[in-house]
Amino acid sequence: MTAARTIVFDLDGTLVDTAPDLINALNFVLDREGLPPVPLLSARNMIGAGARKLIERGLELEGRTMGFEDVTRLTGDFIDYYAAHIADASRPFEGLEGALDDLGARGYRLAVCTNKLEWLSKLLLDQLGLSARFSAICGADTFGVSKPDPAILRQTVARAGGQLSSAIMVGDAGPDIGVARRAGVPVIGVEFGYTEVPIADLQPDRLINHMRDLPAAVEALMLLRNGT
């Protein structure tokens, strides 16, 4: 029996525009430290490496550094606040649900591979009514490794019931391109996400600027995978 063709998505900046709620949570902890808020536009591209890194980057913007224990304390406060406000303003990117419907109708299995914590990822997707669409939702703590370590992608595909030989990654930033390359999986880059380096400069196999273009990009890459 042929393994299910599997499309693996990053979460923040790829499936969902989570920046407003993430930056609100960052500004909550910065305010508690007596620091000014970071603007949403300048902070968007700091997202994608997990909560702790986001806080460290936020502190760097204000010219501040803190010790490991203090950053750990702020990370705990951030996660508590963020979990309570995880879908206040976060919304799926335009065209996402139609694209997922299309891919599902074509027989693709869908999965999420993110550097967000698994329980936060599931909480967000639950609140947005998207969880049931995915055969696996895996975060940085699911397997003990984060992108771009290829183990997280390999194990996400396996948990979804797929095989790497019939999988494609979709993401918005360097860790997504990196994990796909290291795992030997084609990758589609989205231009509307969060990245300090323009996604085009990272040379994904396909580039889209709207989710409506995703099914055609997936089909084109899958044909190449199959050598047809």
Edge to edge, the sheet with strand 187-190 lists 136-138, 109-113, 4-9, 162-171, 187-190, 206-208
**Terminus-to-terminus CA distance in the chain, angstroms?**
20
Question: Catalytic residue among 10, 21, 102, 172, which?
Answer: 10
What are the residues whose beta carbons fall under 8 Å from the beta carbon of 90, sequence distance 6 or more?
Answer: 16, 17, 18, 20, 21, 124, 128
DSSP labels, 49-116: S-HHHHHHHHHHHTT----HHHHHHHHHHHHHHHHHTTTSS-EEPTTHHHHHHHHHHTT-EEEEE-SS
Structure tokens at 166: 């019939």
Distance of alpha carbon 27 from alpha carbon 36, whole angstroms = 8
Q: Judge whether 31 counts as a catalytic residue.
A: no
Q: Which residues are catalytic?
A: 10
